[in-house]
Amino acid sequence: MHMSDENSAPGQRRGQISLPDGIRHVLAPNPSPMTHQGTNSYILGRGDVAVVDPGPMEASHLAALQSCLAPGERIAAVLVTHSHVDHSASARALAVAHNAPVYGFGGVTAGRSALMEQLAEEGHLGGGEGVDHGFTPDITLADGDCLDLGGMSVSAHHTPGHFGNHLSFEIGDTVLTGDIVMGWTSTVISPPDGDLGSYFRALDRLQACKATLFLPGHGDPVREPAKRIDDLRAHRLARHAQILNVLTAGPASAQGIAMQVYGDLPPRVMAAATRNCLAHLIDMMEKDQVSVDGVITDRAIFGLR
């Protein structure tokens, strides 16, 4: 899940996206302010194929995935970038229907940093928007694991930041980036599932792939990956500076800061903006730039050290 935090590029409708050989695209029918045109599902390979991010539990989308298979093809694996319902909710149903295993990094708390795990256990942080709480993969993938799927070599990269169990999948010079890098906006980072420090490290991990194409979980293909990563990193650093600037005028909450730095947004999107600000504030606490009065929540008061 994510929100429009930058200028959104016009999207391409289903069937208009030009993809590398061996990769097919099916757009889920779940457009919203948080999902843009919908979730991008991908079918990898030929013959015994893999589906990446089968999307929400929507019968018409499962039927659309099936209709994209050629005669004699079968779904032999279901890969999930992360356990948000718009990406993973239909994974189990698809796997059962095709007797195929579900691959993922782990359950919904896997991959969290020690700090995020601690904050989650304390129980004051909130978050958990859109989490597919029942998600459990049949086969776990660690960072660097490689699979042969549909005649294609697929490498898994652990890329947390948007979600602790987030994976990206590298196929040649193409990377399927889920929600860590998207084609229309920057991602929401909502603690404890999201972690700003992990996000920056994930961008570094993706940059090291030297890809020429990113295929995101939402939005158009990213055809200049290195520039996109640079832009996303610069965007977060600029947001960081804006938040510090707000705090120079006096202590404030994540909610109050979001209202100043994001401007007038619809309530649902403003809630996501507030979670982004909270992620920045937690990162600033780790860097000893700010302190908090009491426990960490959206409404807790943060001030400069």
Out of 30-34, 49-53, 92-96, pick the least confident: 30-34
Long-range contacts of 295-301 (CB under 8 A, 24+ apart): 295/122, 295/124, 296/119, 296/124, 296/125, 297/124, 297/125, 297/126, 298/126, 298/253, 298/254, 298/255, 298/274, 299/253, 299/254, 299/255, 300/253, 300/254, 301/251, 301/252, 301/253
List C-alpha distances in Å: 15 to 11, 18, 26, 40: 12, 8, 8, 12
pLDDT of residue 16: 52
Enumerate domains of the chain plus CATH numbers: 23-224 (3.60.15.10), 236-304 (1.10.10.10)
What pLDDT digit, counting tens, does each position of 179-204 carry? 999 988 999 999 999 999 999 999 99
What pTM was computed for the model? 0.94
Q: What order do you get walking across the sheet with 290-293 strand by strand? A: 252-253, 301-304, 290-293
Q: Which of 153, 165, 158, 159 is nearest to 182 (CA)?
A: 159
